[in-house]
Structure 1
Amino acid sequence: MASLTSDLLNYIVFRYLQESGFLHSAFTFGHEARINKSTVDGNRIPFNTLVKLVQKGIQYLELETNLSNDDTDMDEDFRFLEPLDLITKNVSELQRMIKEKKEKVQKDKSNADNELDHEREPARDREKEKNGNAGDLEPMDICTDSTSLPCEISSCDVMALEGHTSEVFVCAWSPEGSLLASGSGDSTARIWTIGDGPGNSTIQRMPPNVKVLKHLESRATEENNDVTTLDWNSKGTLLATGSYDGQARIWNRSGLLLKTLNKHEGTIFSLKWNKKGDYLLSGSTDRTAVVWNVKSGESKQQFNFNSGMLDVDWLDNSSFAVGSTDNKIYVCKVGENQPVKRFSGHKNEINAIKWDPSGSLLASCSEDTTVKIWSMKKDVCLHDFREHSKEINTIKWSPTGAGTSNPNKKLLLASASFDSTVKLWDVEQGRLLHSLNGHREVVYSVAFSPNGDYLASGSLDNCMHIWSVKDAKIVKTYKGDGGIYNVCWNKEGNKVAACFSNNVFVFDIRS
């Protein structure tokens, strides 16, 4: 048998980190292991390979131990040994453990049989006395009232967009509403045209109109160009993508590559259009943020920092904020050589930053398990929310309050965490409004509906939930076959897209 190479093992570990949601750890490991130079074809690596490989190894050790045991009564369920035993003990120790445990099981079984013989007859007599000469007992009544349960989304209201051959990390609806973009580890982004009507009777498969945006010229290329982020301009006419190779690309809605923006030397984890659409901002692990002149395709200005950038967001058409792995937030302005504001207070790297709709408040979330609210008028945070117990992946403002089309509704902030919860914050009062506890694994993405009444959440527990913001309850839910990295609403608020493993699912939620 051919040996397992360190190159292949490194790639399997890299994929495990990605699949488990540890994207920053995956990047660091991938950089040190030079995954981008690996000759391993990632499309041949199945989902969850590392866990399956270790599990098979453990089962082999268990089987070897049982087959080597003099006791011919081998248990097929391998219940006598724990995984840690198999990893830390040799075969002779394992054989002795099996023998001792089997002897104990046999002894316990013998004692139990003796006790049962003494109790069986009186118990049978009592049952006869209680039931007279009645025949078989009726089964226990089972409550079938499901009015309190959330409504599971019917398969006829689901469209599966198939075609990606690796994990889909990000998806985004065009402001026009009918186009959906998705970005994957298969080195492609795709633009899907989604019809308005719901499904018929079963899950619909890939619609015929899809544009494949290739980030590799050929499969022979050694580099791995995972699409890590994407963003539509405000008119929905242009799509920007960022990838592992450090290049940003601009495409039209027909999938034609218009510009390749090449200045970064590290992975681009975030890029955003300004509202006017003349600048594109990209943040990279190479410790720089670049403002691009979209028309010329050239760099307008490069900003250098001490650490990598994990998220960026525009305040207005010329000012923006970047969240850094050095635990700080920098507010910069085009034309200024130095940041115009620095925010310090987080104790670990910052995963996401978002300006509120009015541009007066900046929210940030971090590996330090806190959410903080900042104002340009102060040097310290306005609020320091500490109710999460683990790292926080992302935050989203509700499309409500000042500066939105829902000015009479309260402004809220949602945060999603490794602690499996989503939390809703009343920023005006500086308090936790609701803790949404419906997921069982890491929650990696949240998105408000356009009217602010509902919140979609996606988790690595394979579930997509839609919550009523007012009632803090699940009103619709769907369980798929893979973890979810991203969820998003269309502009009409009647469809939600979610990235399930290698596929994108679109849910019609009007029913």
Structure 2
Amino acid sequence: MSITSDEVNFLVYRYLQESGFQHSAFVFGLESHISQSNINGALVPPAALISIIQKGLQYVEAEISINEDGMMFEGRFSESLSLIDAVMPDVVLAKQQQLREKMAALKLKKEQEKQLNAEEKLQQNNGDNPATNVLSVNNSLPPSSLPLTVCTSPSNSTALMTTTVVTAATSTTNMKQQEPQTNGDHTIHATNASSGIVQQPDGNEPMEVDSSQNDIKLSFNNSTVLRGHDSEVFICAWNPTQDLLASGSGDSTARIWNLKEDAVTSTSTPSTIPQQLVLRHCIKDGNQEVPSNKDVTSLDWNCDGTLLATGSYDGYARLWGTNGHLENILGQHKGPIFALKWNKKGNYILSAGVDKTTIIWDATTGVAKQQFPFHSAPALDVDWQNNTCFASCSTDMSIHVCKLGHDRPIKTFDGHSNEVNAIKWDPSGSLLASCSDDMTLKVWSMKHDTFVHDLCAHNKEIYTIKWSPAGPGSNNPNHNLMLASASFDSTVRLWELEKGACLHTLTKHHEPVYSVAFSPDGRLLASGSFDKCVHIWSTHTGQLVHSYEGTGGIFEVCWNAAGNKVGASASDGTVCVLDLRK
């Protein structure tokens, strides 16, 4: 067996990425020279480090279960071994001693039972009443050791468990099983699925039952699983004018999936779609182009859906046509690109990088119009306020509002006490929301120097935020504006901004929530979590209306322009499309 530091470092690096610690993963990758190792990351399955640790724990448990003569104990300790316990020799020895004492007690109990049985047999040979002997034996045993008879009612196939108690009138040689009580003709009655009501057979009032789980769970017919990526799929985005879904992955490719109905052949199944374009992110190596082996971290369609911009850990942004043709390469960042956005007009692209800068690019020429070196640490996210003005946030805990042609920020917001993960302007461009590892969500206005709302309710890091498409500047001007926040505390919260109050707390997820997205009409909210679930909620009531469980942790969710499909990208390399029309 051989273990190299490169192999250990790579598994730790992948664990950090899969756990959402993208910035920690980047710094660790630099210091451990991950890029210089010859490990093919595409061949390493997700959760590889956790898998090998679990196997190590199983080995330690097996080691504890071996007695002094090398034989396995006839059982194992009931408590599961924690990872910290497994690396502490004193704890392992204590567990082993605990198991030995338990087995010794069981062995003594068996010997006592054996002796008791021998005495019973001796009494039978002396002509004693066997029924009395049986009674005395069973009275010495705890209730849990009484023999159990499991019966199945043919009328409802429901397992009924009955306890056969041995009494003085019961013979051990002719012990008769008690007949389980059955429900006769009243075993099962029809349920009205739409109303969730069961009609009682005796004319009593109808009884309500919870049929919500069956109603909200999306079926196989509602979902299409797109396979092709060889690594985690970090991001996905719908084309605004066509039924095309783009995805970006750790396999150094982006893909454009054609989900138009006429593109799906008659031989297609719900788990495969034949048409996909593979956008390979390559770099120059001498006179050759070779795969960059770097993650595609961000992607965004322009307003008319003709061009897709992608950002990569190789430090380059790229522009692609809907036919998969590489139109341009934008190279001025010195290190990974974390965020990439088109402006509404479609003439500029904005990017944020680990090199602490943000850049506005000319989309036609691919030339950097202006680079903004104002952050003191990696820039994590950017968002346009209008066609020439934008905001950026960073691990330096600050937010800068910058404008093309200005050599200093026109506004700086300070108030977070930890790195700021995401920022978003509301549809009118008057309010800016930010979320942070300090577990707070803040709302800022260009008219004030400090935040106008400081929303504190989450108890872990807030990963992302989204505004509802409502109010001035949106397609739903008469709807009330809301803000959604997704946190590592496994919850999603919906906020109203007039009073800064939490309207709904959505609690069905069981792992960190990485993404939220409002439907185009603002009536529904999709959320994606590392518990492999995509949940779709009513923004009015906060109720769960649809639910889907995939095969990998969900990194991103997005709606198509029509509002009838949800795309989701996952840690196991799959992309899922949920069709809400079916």
TM-score by length of 2: 0.81
* Runs of 5+ consecutive residues of structure 1 not aligned to the other structure: none
Q: Are the counterparts in 1 of residues 416 and 436 from structure 2 also a CA contact under 8 Å?
A: yes
Q: 3-state SS of the aligned residue for 2:505?
A: strand
Q: Does 1:116 align with 2:180?
A: no
Q: Aligned residue for 2:581? A: 510
Q: Which amino acid aligns with 1:17?
A: L
Structure 2 distance, partners of 1:430, 1:240, is 35
Q: Aligned residue for 1:353? A: 423
Q: Aligned residue for 1:85? A: 85
Range 216-225 or range 417-426, more displaced: 216-225
Q: Are the counterparts in 1 of residues 335 and 355 from structure 2 also a CA contact under 8 Å?
A: yes
**Per-residue deviation at 1:203?**
5.9
Structure 1 distance, partners of 2:577, 2:39, is 32
**Per-residue deviation at 1:101?**
3.4
Structure 2 distance, partners of 1:435, 1:491, is 26
* Aligned counterpart in structure 2 of residue 162 of structure 1, from 227, 240, 259: 227
**Per-residue deviation at 1:68?**
5.2
Q: Aligned residue for 2:100? A: 99
Q: Aligned residue for 1:279? A: 348
**Per-residue deviation at 1:154?**
1.1
Q: Which amino acid aligns with 2:506?
A: L
Q: Does 1:335 align with 2:405?
A: yes
* Aligned counterpart in structure 2 of residue 367 of structure 1, from 433, 437, 440: 437
Range 33-42 or range 23-32, more displaced: 23-32
Q: Does 1:204 align with 2:230?
A: no
Structure 2 distance, partners of 1:201, 1:225, is 35
Structure 1 distance, partners of 2:365, 2:381, is 24
CA offset digits 1:279-301 (Å, max 9, x no partner): 11100011011111111111100
Q: Aligned residue for 1:379? A: 449
Q: Are the counterparts in 1 of residues 401 and 411 from structure 2 also a CA contact under 8 Å?
A: yes
**Per-residue deviation at 1:56?**
1.1
Q: Aligned residue for 1:48? A: 47
Q: Are the counterparts in 2 of residues 183 and 229 from structure 1 also a CA contact under 8 Å?
A: yes
Q: 1:92 to 1:465 in 2, by over 3 A?
A: closer
Q: 1:108 to 1:247 in 2, by over 3 A?
A: farther
Q: 1:141 to 1:54 in 2, by over 3 A?
A: farther
Q: 1:56 to 1:317 in 2, by over 3 A?
A: same
**Per-residue deviation at 1:64?**
3.2
Q: Which amino acid aligns with 1:292?
A: W
Structure 1 distance, partners of 2:77, 2:565, is 47
TM-score by length of 1: 0.91
Structure 1 distance, partners of 2:104, 2:63, is 20
Structure 1 distance, partners of 2:416, 2:265, is 46
Q: Does 1:225 align with 2:291?
A: no
**Per-residue deviation at 1:107?**
6.7
Paired residue total: 505
**Per-residue deviation at 1:177?**
3.4
Structure 2 distance, partners of 1:106, 1:435, is 53
Structure 1 distance, partners of 2:459, 2:409, is 32
* Runs of 5+ consecutive residues of structure 2 not aligned to the other structure: 114-137, 148-162, 170-176, 192-208
Q: Are the counterparts in 1 of residues 281 and 291 from structure 2 also a CA contact under 8 Å?
A: no
**Per-residue deviation at 1:8?**
1.1
Q: 3-state SS of the aligned residue for 2:142?
A: helix
**Per-residue deviation at 1:147?**
2.8
CA offset digits 1:107-152 (Å, max 9, x no partner): 78989994427996999489x9xxxx98213489899844333511
Q: Are the counterparts in 2 of residues 155 and 203 from structure 1 also a CA contact under 8 Å?
A: no
Q: 1:66 to 1:370 in 2, by over 3 A?
A: same
RMSD between aligned residues: 3.0
Show the 5 A alignment for 1:395-406: 395-406=465-476
Structure 2 distance, partners of 1:264, 1:377, is 32
Q: Are the counterparts in 2 of residues 86 and 94 from structure 1 also a CA contact under 8 Å?
A: no
Q: Aligned residue for 1:461? A: 531
Structure 2 distance, partners of 1:465, 1:284, is 31
Q: Which amino acid aligns with 1:160?
A: V
Structure 1 distance, partners of 2:266, 2:365, is 46
Q: Which amino acid aligns with 2:271?
A: R
Q: Which amino acid aligns with 1:44?
A: L
Q: 1:383 to 1:76 in 2, by over 3 A?
A: same
1 or 2 for the larger relative contact order (CA 8 Å, sep ≥6)?
1
Q: Does 1:188 align with 2:253?
A: yes
CA offset digits 1:283-330 (Å, max 9, x no partner): 001101111111111110011021111000000111000011111100
Structure 1 distance, partners of 2:426, 2:320, is 28
Q: 3-state SS of the aligned residue for 1:36?
A: helix
Q: Quick check: which has more Rg, 1 or 2?
A: 2
**Per-residue deviation at 1:465?**
0.5
Q: 3-state SS of the aligned residue for 2:242?
A: coil
Structure 2 distance, partners of 1:508, 1:251, is 26
Structure 2 distance, partners of 1:332, 1:367, is 23
Q: Which amino acid aligns with 2:142?
A: L
